[in-house]
Amino acid sequence: MAGTDPIHQFVIEDIFPIATIGGDGTEGSGLHFAFTNSSLYMVLAVVVITGFLLLASSRRSIVPGRLQLLSEMLYEFIANMLRSSAGTEGMKFFPFVFSLFAFVLVGNLFGMFPYAFTFTSHIIVTFALAMLVISVVFIYGVVRHGFKFFKLFAPAGIPTPILFIVVPIEIVSFLSRPISLSVRLFGNILAGHITLKVFTGFVVTLGAAGFLGWMGAILPLFMGVALTALEFLVAAVQAYVFAVLTSMYLNDAVHPSH
Amino acid sequence: MATPAFAQEAETPSEQNLDTVIDVPHGEPIEGATGHDPAAEQHGTEVGAGEHDTGVFPPFDPATFPSQLLWLAITFAALYLLMSKLALPRVGSIIAERKARLDADLAAADASRQKTDAAIAAYEAALAAAKSKAQGIATETRESIQVELAAKRQAVETDLAGRMSAAESRIAQTKAAALTQVDEIAATTAQTIVAQLVGEVVSPDSVRAAVAKVGKE
């Protein structure tokens, strides 16, 4: 019955181990590195994104074909989004935001293939990406603006007594960004996949129960179809949200004084 | 049926899978792992309940973190490099090229349009100039004709006036000549009448004087 288990799809399995650093030689001790199913889909994502863009731009035609148009739309979409939220100066982060968007989008969409592994359903991946975003924001902000970057926490034009309330709030909100950014993506993808698996699992379980079961399986089947459509939407929307929030956070690094 | 279990989570591996546990890294599906509960699978939404009895939900399993972070770093760095150095400049250059081409074409079209506008303006100016010139010529011609006509008319009128005055003087001469002859006729007639009535011959001079005396009264 593992076929209907909604958690099974998130299990990470080693394809081949690489190394174990530290530990006492027993299983579970030390840092274990391996090429896993998660790694496989990350590599596939890179291959698919790069392959798509290079293939789409290979003809370099003035009047674009369908594929080239799609790649250009993606490019312009992210470029416009970043430009509108972080300004022209923010465009130096364009490859970064584009990579994030493409990586998350393709990772999410891989999850829509049966038997595929969704690496964005793991909190460590989304959290690492979110921490990367916040680190870039913080390091760039401090390098570019020095101490002025910390004006981000003290909005201009606020009376001093209120600053004592506002500054902690701003700091907490800044620190909670990587958490909200990562949990939003992780939670959406995880919950969506579990729900989808539960409903389609009902179909399989009920289907095994004969004719009445088949009749009973109709409703979860429709739910499964509807949820699949919803999950495609969620996959795209969450990638977009991740990229939009990244752009807005980068705006703080580029223009720290609100 | 393969039920993945994580060796490090299985605190007390059963004897039957102990060998496998040692050889196989964690995360590998292990045949015959303990704690398989078919009932739990039916309600598998409970976190971790369906998969293994250790209760570690795969996304929260820290043993998988190093591998995931390692490969995330490798793949994302590779993706970033490929995007920033190769793919995005390519797509961007195509878009920029098209934009440059479009701008150039639009500029050329604009220049052509301006040229057309200039040509139209020049044509219209030439047309207006020709029109005004034609009008000028017409006016000039009319004026010159009028002047000529006036001169001719004046000449004719002068001529006519000269002739008329000549004729008038001739009439006056004729009239005067005729009037002198009337006195002669009157004198002759009066001499004849006197001679007939009185039977006496009167001298022509006295008759003339008498006629002149009567003519003056």
H or E stretch covering B29:
strand B29-30
Using pLDDT thresholds of 50, 70 and 90, give the confidence band for residue B26: very low
Q: Which residue type does B102 have? A: L
* Residue-wise DSSP of B91-134: HHHHHHHHHHHHHHHHHHHHHHHHHHHHHHHHHHHHHHHHHHHH
Report the residue from A7, A38, A98 with minimal CB separation from B83: A98
Q: Where are the domains of chain B?
A: 1-60, 177-216
For residue A194, which residues of chain B lie inside 8 Å, CB to CB? 45
pLDDT mean across residues, chain A? 89
Predicted-complex ipTM score: 0.90
More confident: A258 or B61: B61
More confident: A3 or B128: B128
Using pLDDT thresholds of 50, 70 and 90, give the confidence band for residue A40: very high
Q: Which residue type does A33 have? A: F
Q: What mean pLDDT comes out for the span A192-210?
A: 88
A108 and chain B in contact, CB less than 8 A? no
- For A178, other C-beta atoms within 10 Å of its C-beta total 21
Q: Where are the domains of chain A?
A: 2-254
Q: Torsion over CA of A213, A214, A216 and A222, rounded to 10 degrees?
A: 150
Residue of B10, B6, B18 lying closest to B67 (CA atoms): B6
Please determine, for residue B2, whether its predicted confidence score (pLDDT) is greater than 60.
no
pLDDT tens digits for range A94-122: 999 999 999 999 999 999 998 899 999 99
- Chain B closest CA to A145's CA: distance in Å? 24
Count of residues in chain B: 217
* Residue-wise DSSP of A84-97: HHHTGGGGGGHHHH
Burial group, residue A16, by CB count within 10 angstroms (0-12, 13-18, 19+): exposed
Could you tell me which chain B residue has the CA closest to the CA of A121?
B59
List, in sequence order, every residue forming a beta bridge with A35; answer none if it has no partner: A16
Please determine, for residue B12, whether its predicted confidence score (pLDDT) is greater than 60.
no
Please determine, for residue B50, whether its predicted confidence score (pLDDT) is greater than 70.
no
Residue of A116, A133, A68, A36 lying closest to A108 (CA atoms): A116
For residue A71, which residues of chain B lie inside 8 Å, CB to CB? 91
What pLDDT is attached to residue B20? Answer: 43
Report the residue from B26, B67, B88 with minimal CB separation from A39: B67
For residue A54, which residues of chain B lie inside 8 Å, CB to CB? 86-87, 90
Please determine, for residue A247, whether its predicted confidence score (pLDDT) is greater than 90.
yes
Question: Collapsing DSSP states into helix, strand and coil, what is residue B8?
Answer: coil
